[in-house]
Amino acid sequence: MGRIRLGLRSRVTLAFALGGLLVTLLLTGLTLGITRQVLLSEREDVAEVVAFANASRVKAQLTGELDAGAINGIVESLNTKAGSRPLLITGDGRFARDASAFSLDDVPIELRTMTFERRAARIRTEVQESPAIVYGVPIPGFDDVVYFEAVPLVEVEDTLETLQLVLLGGGLIVAALAALAGRFAATRALRPLVEVSEAAEAIAGGRLDTRLDPQGDEDLESFAASFNEMAGGLEERIQRDARFASEVSHELRSPLMTLTASVEVLENNRDEMPPRSQTALDLLSSDITRFQTLVEDLLEISRFDVGTAALQADPLLYAHFVRAAVDAASMQNIPVEVDDDAENVVVDADKRRLARVVANLIDNAAKYGGGATRIHLTRSGESVLMAVEDAGPGVPPDERFVIFDRFSRGGAGGRRGYDTGVGLGLSLVAEHVNLHHGRVWVEDRPDGHRGARFVVELPISDDLDEEMA
């Protein structure tokens, strides 16, 4: 499996979150370390004072011959407010307030050794599986008497654990806030790229006057200026090319009219020509017809490019208009099927352009699909669909967008025989439909039969059935 690649915004957000979490963990570690040291130091100081005070009390009360009961009394009288556990070792035995809680076995060997060598010492260890500080104090004047005291550190450890949980919880909150800050910063930082993307899409969609506004940001002024200069140059280039195509097309109309008139004269004298001359005349007539179509299509395309194409829209009863347009565009009897809910649909449309859409789709079906087999009108929400079906080879999925490009006829262009197409018919269909705020696409026939289905979707402006209701 390939690695998952995060977007730039996600990477910035993740970097902020990880940075916040890392800083929080470092601060948590430092805080816990310092706090632990401070708490243990304070606990040790207090415990040391209590332990030596208890040792002094033991020394003061060990006078003369004392029996075991008296020694136990001394141990019971010691200060244990800090939760300390006393243990007194004498030559006669071991005396503890609670032997099960603290006994000589709980004292580490190294501490025992130092204490019996008459040196006071302390050590951190575990007593009954709980952390504690154990003090060992030899009693002056008594060679065989030593005093041990265990001070538990459970409260300190509980405080540190609570603090750790609080700091980790705060770290997660800080990481979340850092992620939000990173998201906000990334969004702000990438906003110019989003605007550039939107501007590029607008230019690609035909809005050539789109420009970037630096909005007073000195860091973006040079970038916006370069982009606007590029967009301006592109607009000027496209308009110049469109004007060139338009001017060339206009200039070609006069010689075309002369050629057409000359061909008509030759057609009138066709019977007087030998067979080879008649064949040449047929080829010439066909090419001139194709040339006329190309010039007219180029003129129409140039109007879209220079932005002079405009709708002269009128309310049309769509089903009635399509039937009339089909009859005018084809000598064949192409069935027009209209669903009941589409019969009285009204659209605002330019009659000339919409008739050209119907004619071009029928002509395309005749050239590449063996002729249109059915035209179907149906309603879909607030839109009306017109589908032109044929029984040809169909359009492969990878060509279904390409065939609406200019001078593109897809794979069918390489399979056709004698053809007078110029590759602008479907491109003009797309331009006319877009001007009506609709869309056009090609798909397979829904009945599963061989062939293509070109669908034109237009917005509905009214419905006579609703008015009558």
Per-residue pLDDT reduced to its tens digit, 160-192: 788 888 888 887 888 888 888 888 877 777 777
Kindly report, residue by residue over 118-163, the tens digit of the pLDDT.
888 888 888 877 788 888 888 887 777 888 888 888 777 778 788 8
Distance CA 208, CA 324 (A): 37
CATH number of 314-468: 3.30.565.10
pLDDT at 282: 82
- Identify the band that residue 415 occupies on the pLDDT scale cut at 50, 70 and 90: very low
8-160 and 218-306, same CATH topology: no
| Tokens 């004007």 found at | 243
How does residue 416 score in pLDDT terms, banded at 50, 70 and 90? very low
Confidence (pLDDT) at 379: 93
Lowest mean pLDDT, pick from 76-80, 112-116, 198-202: 76-80
Structural domain boundaries in the chain = 8-160, 218-306, 314-468
Q: Which CATH superfamily is domain 8-160 in?
A: PAS domain (3.30.450.20)
Q: What is the pLDDT of residues 295-316, one digit of tens each?
A: 676 666 666 665 556 678 889 9
Q: Which CATH architecture has domain 218-306?
A: Orthogonal Bundle (1.10)
Contact in structure between 337 and 375 (CB atoms under 8 Å): yes
pLDDT at residue 381 tops 80: yes
Confidence of residue 17 (pLDDT cuts 50, 70, 90): confident
